Structure 1
Amino acid sequence: MFDAVIFDMDGLLLDTERLALESGLEALIGLGHDVDRGFMLSLVGIDAQEGHRRLTAHLGEDWAFGPFDAAWNTAYRKRLSGGIPVKPGVETLLLHLDDARIPRAVATNSRTAAAEGKLHEAGLRGWFGHVAGVDSVPKPKPAPDVYLSAAGAIGARPERCLAFEDSDTGVRAALAAGMTVVQVPDLLPSSENRAHHTAESLLEGARACGLIP
């Protein structure tokens, strides 16, 4: 049914969104800022520039991004010190796609080098023909740029691609690229319900769209 499959990364392949949220919350509270989990959830799926804009709107123009970024990175790396956790079903699905010789790529709002590093640490980098990061395209998700870039890099027409996403922001991007979209929500349920299929797990989503039996 599909010529290629393109995956989001954090919260979809890697169980890292919750760790990032916990780290950000710890860093902001440690610096004396009044934030809660609900606000941190509003940052899920967006790129770093938009996250900075929302933090500034919430905390005020005089908040210091540098100390927060350093504290967040320290807390995040500490949580990842035992290894980068992979979502259930990822390796089973990738093995199936490899056996079927279906090309695969990653399209992420993370920077390319950071995404490559995390996939390598998680033991997944070799499964993908290309990683399209936010720094390699003009606009981040919800613009379609990273999805179009990923499809082009592996020689697939967007309308013949299947995209897996966890966030509404990512779903909007993949739909704008003209792809069939499966959403597997991570920290938040979808508030938009725009994906072609919504599932509780990666393998359930793959079955729902006919990718695997």
Structure 2
Amino acid sequence: MSIKGIIFDADGVLLDSMGIWDQAPEMYLRSKGITPEKHLGQKMFAMSMTEGAEYIKKHYLVDFPVTKILDGVTDTICTFYEQEVLLKPGVEETLRWIQKQRIPMTVATSSEKNVISKAFERLGIFSCFQQVFSCEEVGAGKDRPDIYYAAQQEMACRVEETIVFEDSFYALQTAKKAGFVTVGVYDRFSENQREEIQMLADHYLGKLSADQVRACIAQHDSGKE
């Protein structure tokens, strides 16, 4: 079996961006002259965007409509992606190496497609990918394999010929159950799941590098599991 396609998650794999989801509510409140409670971002991490906006309204901005708060937090996140987010170490080198091997690449992200695309354009990696797919676009989160199937079909390769790079346990679990080759990538924001990810994934990388990705591909190209 040879590898004929690669799917990358964006946040936590290609982009050093997971922290903004903790920080955005606090940044938004400070922009309104309000000092947020300690660890507000951690408290809101498990909430949906709408639930988070409702929490902020209840505890801080009682006179603000939820929709206005939601727009404000979203704008904070979008500005970060468009102006500040950086690539994780080793990403550009890895992508350029894969391009030289003529292996097609796509992106499967839970974030908004437009925001990720703008970040990629600013960072000079947008042209590396055939397509960026978002969960919103395909109509399902990463607890279902729809987004991975869409990305794989775009590259015209079979599931078992496709590697999925992810930093979260639940996304890797979905991809693995669907039959994809899986590679877990370390991110400090998923540190608490590191052991589970290492046990689940077919491969585990402390960071992306051309040498390590080459080794993962070589194992499957040579028929080893």
Aligned equivalent of 1:196: 202
Q: CA deviation at 1:27?
A: 2.9
Q: 1:209 aligns with which of 197, 209, 216?
A: 216
* SS at structure 1 position matched to 2:102: coil
Q: What whole-Å deviation, never above 9, does each CA across 1:10-65 have from its counterpart, x for those lacking one?
A: 1111111113322233336766775534335x44xxxxxx7236648x94996854
Q: What whole-Å deviation, never above 9, does each CA across 1:91-118 have from its counterpart, x for those lacking one?
A: 1111111111111100111232232222
Structure 1 Cα separation of the partners of residues 70 and 82 of structure 2? 18
Aligned equivalent of 1:21: 22
Aligned equivalent of 2:222: none
Equivalences for residues 28-177 of structure 1 within 5 A: 36-40=40-44, 42-43=45-46, 51-52=48-49, 55=52, 59=55, 65-77=66-78, 79-80=80-81, 82-177=83-178
Task: Give the 3 Å change call, closer, same or farther, for CA 95–211 of structure 1 in structure 2.
Answer: farther
The CA RMSD measured in Å over matched residues stands at 3.0
Structure 1 Cα separation of the partners of residues 144 and 36 of structure 2? 31
Structure 2 Cα separation of the partners of residues 68 and 130 of structure 1? 31
Percent sequence identity over aligned pairs: 25
TM-score by length of 2: 0.75
Do the aligned partners of 1:168 and 1:190 also contact (CA within 8 Å) in 2?
no
Structure 1 Cα separation of the partners of residues 160 and 119 of structure 2? 28
Structure 2 Cα separation of the partners of residues 33 and 69 of structure 1? 16
* SS at structure 2 position matched to 1:209: helix
Q: CA deviation at 1:144?
A: 0.8
Task: Give the 3 Å change call, closer, same or farther, for CA 132–74 of structure 1 in structure 2.
Answer: closer
Structure 2 Cα separation of the partners of residues 174 and 13 of structure 1? 18
Q: How many residues align?
A: 204
Structure 2 residue ranges without an equivalent (≥5): 220-225
Structure 1 residue ranges without an equivalent (≥5): 44-49
TM-score by length of 1: 0.79
* SS at structure 1 position matched to 2:201: coil
Quick check: 104-113 or 58-67, which moved more? 58-67
